[in-house]
Amino acid sequence: MTQTEYQNAVKQLQKYSYHYYVLDDPITTDEEYDILYHHVVAYENEHPDEIIPDSPTQRVGDVPQDKFDKAQHLSRMWSLEDLFNREELETWVNRITKGYGDVRFYCEPKFDGASLNLIYDNGALVQAITRGDGVEGEEVTQNAKTIQSIPLRIEYTGRIEIRGEVVIFKEDFEKINLERSRNGESLFANPRNAAAGSLRQLDTRITASRRLVFMPYGIGANTLEIKNLSERMEWVYGLGFRNPHMTHLCESADQIETFYHEMRVERDNFAMLLDGMVIKVDAIAVQDELGYTVKNPRWAAAYKFPAIEKLTTLREVIMQVGRSGVVTPVAIVEPVDIEGVTVERSTLHNFDEIERKDIRIGDKVIILRSGDVIPKIVKVIASERTGSEQIIHRPKHCPVCHSELLDEGALIKCQNLSCEARVVNSIIYFASKQCLNIDGLGDKIVEALHNAGMVRELSDLFGLTMEQLLSLEGFKEKKSRNLIDAIAAVKGCDCWRFINALGIEHIGEVASKTLCGAFGTAFDTASREAILALEGFGGEMVESILEFSRVNSEKIEKLRTLLNPVAPIKVEAHENPFKGKSVVITGSMSVPRDSIKAILEGLGAKVASSVSKKTDYVVYGEDAGSKYDKAVELGVTLLTEREFRSLTSLADTTPTAQGSGVHPKNSLFD
């Protein structure tokens, strides 16, 4: 790549990002973006003195900060006066129109997030400061640069403050809390707290991973000659900032009220949370004359939406078992009306979260409902306790089938293959491609067989008859025969497929192969010590295997007899560069990746699914993605498919793919 090609590539990446993060209108695929991004990274690694300051690669720093320094805003950031009803709205509007006659009001959504002030000088983003006390806040410039919807450079030669709200989309908020739950971390109470916490991470990589979004709402210090706020905001959007697309100019309290109700109706359709509507006088000259009180601008107010948090009482906790067997506690609360919806249930996430918040039956609690987000308990009012509250105990047995539960802290799971709550999902997984790969046994057919009472557990599959299948809607003789033949064909399957198909928590393909290699088909009789001695097996995995084997011992034996799985024949691999090494495969190859995987396993390599410090090689093809980036970051040896085949002496016997021609300095072939 030449310097000119590099500069053009950076511009193209910036264009891609603008369409994706600002316009919500992607103009390329993730793969195409990643390919171009990799080329830019490679060029910058070789020419560090030519890196463009606003290159997409410069958004995330490598070294965590020690602390946040205080910084002053160029002009004060004010709080808004709150309005809660039509009467207060009319009073506020009349106070302005009485002195200034016909005034237009600029109305926009009030986003529920963390306020941020961006300072640009000669087009470059030089500072990002949190609201703080309005005069001084914390400088979070490096973190702000990770937010894709914040331009690193704008077309403006002066010094200007662009102000907005940093938010997290509702969908991303749920993903963050799900991940935190899995990791045993405390959950964020709401997207606002998540946004504020994410913006103040000392490690910019954590901030970057949170998918924060910047929504501009105003301008601070500036030298603009644009006379109206509405026109100024259009100018801001033209600089490359995100447009909320629901703003309106109103000329009376009636029009404001009408637009307010329209926004309330649309509230749940917004990707992020809204807690009201902001009303501002449009004419800048009138704003200047109205001025400020001690705390608020007289020319702006927040017309708040009705509360989505209410106080209620936790009456009882019931247990729900999901299709994967995970047991989730659900709170039954005293019915409470939140925005016209009667809420009687709330998610409690998991038992670790119950213990962290010290939630008890009989507690007074604050419950939050936001759009289509499941209502949740965000706070316990411990000061209201009478002493009659009851501690919520962790369940020991499945509420559906009463079998013993696997308790891993945040995760409590029923592993009984015959549990009515999870049997359908167990059969679907059993037949899936990565397991026994039973052709023709898809989700809908499994559900039909279960609903008809023909398959209540896995072993029932092998007793299906033509007569039974022909009685189902949509089944003719050929389709029925094909399914029965497909089920019969899996008998004599590889041992690892048998273990993997059982759906043991934490045990996937790699672990299944390790178990087969060590114990053959009798994995369920192995001792705790023997399993712990296996490479890559930790305490949670071992307990999961032992618990599963205890609960399902008879079913495992029955399936083993029906399937007659074949244990692997141990053949010592000859000496080669991959023997005993950990290898990850990523990208598109000239042949299916399973073929590459089979070659590596035949050479005695362990094929892993993710890149870590323990990875020895990453074999990559076209459109390599995040695993490639991780390998570069950790200094793992990278091999193109051609280089891989050269090392295995297979280059002349199997079709090869062309490499990219760019090899990082940690390649074997430098």
Domain membership flag for residue 340 = yes
Q: What is the pLDDT of residue 373?
A: 52
Active-site choice (110, 357, 376, 606): 110
- Based on the fold, state whether residues 499 and 484 are members of the same structural domain: no
- Strands 159-168 and 212-219, by their bridges, are antiparallel
Range of the domain at 452: 423-489
The CA dihedral of 617, 618, 620, 626, to the nearest 10 degrees, is -160
User: Residue 131 carries which DSSP code?
Assistant: -
d(CA 289, CA 281) in angstroms, rounded, equals: 11
Q: What is the CATH number of the domain that holds 52?
A: 1.10.287.610
Phi, psi of 136 (to 5 degrees): -135, 140
**Structural tokens at position 186:** 């405390």
Q: Are 664 and 638 in contact (CB under 8 A)?
A: yes
Residue 408 forms part of a structural domain: no
379 and 475 part of one domain: no
76 occurs within a structural domain: no
Among 465, 489, 513, the domain-final residue is: 489
pLDDT at 647: 85
pLDDT of residue 668: 38
In angstroms, rounded to a whole number, what is the distance separating the alpha carbons of residues 507 and 530? 16
Secondary element (H or E) of residue 262? helix 253-266
Query: 623: alpha, beta or left, given left = phi > 0 and alpha = psi -120 to 50?
Result: left
Does residue 144 sit in the same domain as residue 234? yes
Weakly modelled stretches of the chain, pLDDT under 50:
371-372, 650-670
Residue 191 near residue 170 (C-beta atoms within 8 A): yes
Residues 236 and 113 grouped into a single domain: yes
CATH code: domain of residue 185: 3.30.470.30
255 and 356 assigned to the same domain: no
Beta strands 606-608 and 582-586, pairing class = parallel
How confident is the model over 531-587, as pLDDT tens digits? 988 877 888 889 889 999 999 999 999 999 999 999 877 667 788 888 888 999 988
Contacts of 183 (CB under 8 A, 6+ apart): 410
Domain end, chosen from 489, 512, 535, is at 489
Evaluate whether 2 touches 47 at the Cβ level (below 8 Å): no
Rounded Cα distance, 420 and 320, in Å: 12
274-281 and 300-304 strand pairing: antiparallel
Same domain, residue pair 180 and 256: yes
pLDDT digits (tens, 9 = 90+) for 141-192: 999 999 999 999 999 999 999 999 999 998 888 888 888 777 767 677 678 8
Same domain (yes/no): 517, 583: no
Residues 171 and 240 in one domain: yes
Tell me the whole-structure pTM to 2 decimals: 0.51
- Structural domain includes residue 33: yes
Residues sharing a CB contact under 8 Å with residue 602, sequence separation 6 or more, in sequence order: 573
pLDDT given for residue 58 in this prediction:
73
Query: Is 110 among the catalytic positions?
Result: yes
In this structure, are 541 and 578 located in the same domain?
Answer: no
- 36 close to 5: Cβ distance less than 8 angstroms: no
- What is the distance between the alpha carbons of residues 392 and 403, in angstroms, rounded to a whole number? 20
CATH number of domain containing 333: 2.40.50.140
Q: What is the CATH number of the domain that holds 659?
A: 3.40.50.10190
pLDDT of res. 324? 73
Number of domains in the chain: 6
Asked if the structure places residue 396 within a domain, the reply is no
Q: 346: which residues sit within 8 A by CB, 6+ positions away?
A: 330, 331, 333, 367, 374, 375, 376, 377
Residue 71 lies in a domain: no
Residues 45 and 158 in one domain: no
CATH number at residue 503: 1.10.150
Instruction: Give pLDDT, residue 49.
Output: 87
Strand segments (E) across 229-323: 248-250, 274-281, 300-304, 309-321
Rg of the chain on CA atoms, in Å: 30
Shared-domain flag, residues 549 and 598: no
CATH of the domain at 440: 1.10.150.20
Verify that 379 and 504 share a domain, yes or no: no
Q: Is residue 66 part of a domain?
A: no
- Residue 630 is predicted with a pLDDT of 87
In a domain, 14, yes or no: yes
Examine the fold and report which residue of 253, 272, 304 is the final residue of a domain before the chain moves on. 304
Question: Which residue has tokens 């902001």?
Answer: 278
